[in-house]
Structure 1
Amino acid sequence: MSFTRLPETVKTTPTPFNVAVPESAILELKTLLKFAKVAPPTYESSRPDANYGVTRDWIQKAKAEWETFDWRKIEAHINAFPQYKIPITNTDGASYNIHFLALFSEKPDAVPIMMLHGWPGSFLEFLPILGILSTRYTSATLPYHIIVPSLPGYAFSDPPPLDRNFNLQDVARLLNSLMAQLGFDQYVVQGGDIGSQTARILVAEHANCKAIHMNFCYMTEPPNFDTSSLTASDNDILERRDWFLRSASAYAFEHATRPSTLSFVLSSSPLALLAWIGEKFMDWTDEDPPMTTILESVSLYWFTDTISTSFYPYRNTTPVDKNHIDLSNNPKWHITKPFGYSAFPKEILQSPRRWIETTGKLDFYREHDKGGHFAAIERPETLLKDLEDFVSQVWSGV
């Protein structure tokens, strides 16, 4: 397989990994789906505008397609890219096996870039970008080392501990150590959703994280902000933001305040999981994604049994939790290193450029007319072009 030659500076050799879901797990899923009960029709579930969540028609169609879904085809696609696991020790002495995909370059001046997913995403978000790069370049010409980890508690990475709290600063420490163990003493981080929040911590707290590019920045209005400076585009952004906070954010408060209860519900029924995750893919995208995109993500959560361990970041970042951290307006998280941002119009919690500029010196900003929350899936060429242009602009000066 190409793109597998490790850097000469690697400190810990990762173990190659392939996805191999047992046939018994696939049979169990299909059996549970076959006998899963669909709720009776209601006024809310019958509305074609889906203003009250996924419709009954949609869930019936998705259920039928999932029953015949070819997971092995998805598995083969995933395994076409190099994957690894590596043990990383946290400051508490606990060791975590971190799963990651990688395209390693043979160029001595290749720029290390770590790309971080969010919820309900996974490493799957970045497969389109990995596909573009592996087609466009060879391992001898690839200008970057691309590292795509599964966050702890997601997919094939180890879950958070049972005996203590675990937050995004823990995640950042583990991922920074991952890059160090792979031999990278400086790197760029890119992220959306929870990945952007982890990225902000990385660039603020870890010296070898030299630059950050994000496509998500949830924040409250900056103190003493002059609202008269807002443009028509800014007001469109704030209107969608208001819609989300008013009508579509209840899931986040549930994740933050009752994750244990929710985990039992979603881990016991694939149909429940499909509704919970499928709704987000439908609501948060510019255009409805193909059903395959939704089903491969829901299948990954189901087969890895990780929905229950994917909620912990919400306790850290949602204001309803008294221990949450404000990653935007707190000077502790102000970005002082090269900072790039890509704005997509259907992002759920987009912030105006003038707000984002208060969180760091914004060296690169590009606004697009298409795309939503899952930019790496929806607009992979666009996001990749922005990232490449940002790296080209700032890397020589880090």
Structure 2
Amino acid sequence: MSSGGFETLPNGASSTIKPWRVDIPQESLDELNVLLKRTPLAPPTYENSLPDAEDRHLGVRRDWLTAAKKHWEDGGFDWRKKEEYINTFPHFKAQIHDDALSSDFDIHFVALFSKRSDAIPIVFVHGWPGSFLEFLPMLELLRSRYKTADELPYHLIVPSLPGYTFSSAPPLDKNFTIDDAARLFDRLIVHDLGLSAYVAQGGDVGGRVARSLASQYEHCKAAHLNTAPMPAPDPSRLQSPISALEHEGIERGNQFTQTGSAYAIEHATRPSTIGFVLSSSPVALLAWIGEKFRDWTDADPPLDTILESVALYWLTNCAATSLWSYRQVFGPDAQTHSSEKWYIGKPFGFSWFKKEISPVPKAWVELTGNLVFHRQHDKGGHFAALEHPQVLWDDVEQFLAQVRGQCGF
């Protein structure tokens, strides 16, 4: 457990919230190692063996996957070492009954709690193929800056989405949506943690959940996002000019739609099929997720960073249970950030990262909410919290300083 008192729950927190630790059974690790060693790779093909080592436009290269698999199966990646670090942060599980779905959930979350009476609660929500791991570098920054819970001016709460890693999977008999996840998280923050007001932050699926929280729940007083994918609006509605750099971003987004979004259509239209594929082989999961961590960032993350996320998905068996959000976003009745239902009428901040897979101009984003804070960065991609935790945190903190009075904190 972390030192500094960051594990102390806020006054009024429910007794159903219990401290928790990550402890993967050794037999699961042994089974994983056997599967890695016994799983064959596809034979060399033109598509996976293009001559330029950096050419990935037809998918994962065989040489990279071969090297990554060998590093993993030979013990170059040590899960227990990663697990030990993960457990230096306070973990919890909350038992939540959701009346709307007539279902019970265990919601896992990592947190650094403050002992200050004026602490601002912030809930950080991850996306796919991310997890709570994305925000650990940011939490590390904060616990290094503020040595004790008496100094920390925020409650930092990082829940695992239902169906992801250590949170319960969605029910088997009902469709589960982004708005369902938002309802559970609002319940977690307000009812179970006893916090009467909070701010939501997120990207990817987490950005949509944060938008749902801010637009539909009174206790969520503001939202900061770092993604906002949406179709091009009617030019007559735009209130701001679009810069040359933002036009480049639009082109990047169009290119991604044409050549990089097939995974999302598969998740949305055939989640059962791809769920079986990804749950049957850790090497298949490595190819599917590893591609995203390499293609959606402005610089390739260290291999161990990729393997940490892939291993977590495999060891928690969440490859199939984490795909539920795609039907709502890419299916026939898709909702986007520009939908009227998800308009943020509260203070709204946005961070634009150049190498995001679909960087949306400020002129588009401000049509989706009361945009009062906007920052543009010339580096960083889809996994902003993981890639540039200090940059993203600085934006969040500046946004909070600007809107604190309006939010009643």
- How high is the TM-score relative to the length of structure 1? 0.97
> What letter is aligned with 2:283?
L
Residue 280 (structure 2) pairs with residue 268 (structure 1): yes
Counterparts of 2:134 and 2:27 in 1: how far apart (Å)?
A: 26
Task: After superposition, give the CA deviation of every residue in 1:149-198 in whole Å (9 maximum; x if it has no partner).
Answer: 00000010000000111111110100000001101111000001000001
Residue 332 (structure 2) pairs with residue 322 (structure 1): yes
Q: Which residue of 2 aligns with 1:112?
A: 121
Q: Which residue of 2 aligns with 1:183?
A: 194
Q: Which residue of 2 aligns with 1:278?
A: 290
Task: After superposition, give the CA deviation of every residue in 1:269-316 in whole Å (9 maximum; x if it has no partner).
Answer: 010000000000010000011001100000000000000001100011
Q: Which residue of 2 aligns with 1:364?
A: 373
Task: After superposition, give the CA deviation of every residue in 1:334-392 in whole Å (9 maximum; x if it has no partner).
Answer: 11101001111000011111000111121110001110000011000000111111111
Structure 1 residues 39 and 225: CA distance shift in structure 2, 3 A: farther
1:13–1:182 Cα contact (<8 Å) kept? no
By how many angstroms is 1:224 displaced?
A: 4.1
Counterparts of 1:57 and 1:152 in 2: how far apart (Å)?
A: 35
2:242–2:362 Cα contact (<8 Å) kept? no
Q: Which residue of 2 aligns with 1:388?
A: 397
1:98–1:150 Cα contact (<8 Å) kept? yes
Q: Which residue of 1 aligns with 2:57?
A: 51
> What letter is aligned with 2:13?
V
Counterparts of 1:223 and 1:70 in 2: how far apart (Å)?
A: 51
> What letter is aligned with 1:95?
D
Match of 1:79 among 80, 87, 94: 87
Counterparts of 1:230 and 1:383 in 2: how far apart (Å)?
A: 23
Match of 2:213 among 202, 206, 209: 202
Task: After superposition, give the CA deviation of every residue in 1:3-32 in whole Å (9 maximum; x if it has no partner).
Answer: 012111323441111011111111111111
> What letter is aligned with 1:298?
V
Residue 232 (structure 2) pairs with residue 221 (structure 1): yes
1:340–1:390 Cα contact (<8 Å) kept? yes
Residue 246 (structure 2) pairs with residue 234 (structure 1): yes
Match of 2:313 among 296, 301, 309: 301
SS at match of 2:8: coil
Counterparts of 1:73 and 1:388 in 2: how far apart (Å)?
A: 31
Residue 357 (structure 2) pairs with residue 348 (structure 1): yes
> What letter is aligned with 2:293?
F
> What letter is aligned with 1:179?
I
Counterparts of 1:384 and 1:78 in 2: how far apart (Å)?
A: 20
2:228–2:337 Cα contact (<8 Å) kept? no
By how many angstroms is 1:211 displaced?
A: 0.3
Name the % identity.
52
Counterparts of 2:33 and 2:116 in 1: how far apart (Å)?
A: 46
SS at match of 2:140: helix
SS at match of 2:199: strand
Structure 1 residues 251 and 225: CA distance shift in structure 2, 3 A: farther
Counterparts of 2:247 and 2:236 in 1: how far apart (Å)?
A: 14
Q: Which residue of 1 aligns with 2:78?
A: 70
Counterparts of 2:13 and 2:28 in 1: how far apart (Å)?
A: 36
Residue 270 (structure 2) pairs with residue 258 (structure 1): yes
SS at match of 1:381: helix
SS at match of 2:283: helix
SS at match of 1:190: strand
> What letter is aligned with 2:64?
W
Counterparts of 1:308 and 1:155 in 2: how far apart (Å)?
A: 11
Match of 1:31 among 20, 29, 34: 34
Q: Which residue of 2 aligns with 1:8?
A: 11
Match of 1:166 among 176, 181, 204: 176
Match of 2:102 among 73, 93, 98: 93
Stretches of structure 1 that go unaligned for 5 or more consecutive residues are none
> What letter is aligned with 2:91?
Q
SS at match of 1:358: coil
1:12–1:182 Cα contact (<8 Å) kept? no
By how many angstroms is 1:324 displaced?
A: 2.4
Counterparts of 1:55 and 1:12 in 2: how far apart (Å)?
A: 50
> What letter is aligned with 1:208?
H
Counterparts of 2:63 and 2:285 in 1: how far apart (Å)?
A: 16
Match of 1:376 among 379, 382, 385: 385
Task: After superposition, give the CA deviation of every residue in 1:106-150 in whole Å (9 maximum; x if it has no partner).
Answer: 111000000000000000000000111111102110010000000
Structure 1 residues 266 and 87: CA distance shift in structure 2, 3 A: same
By how many angstroms is 1:212 displaced?
A: 0.1
> What letter is aligned with 2:161?
L
Counterparts of 2:340 and 2:63 in 1: how far apart (Å)?
A: 48
> What letter is aligned with 1:269?
S
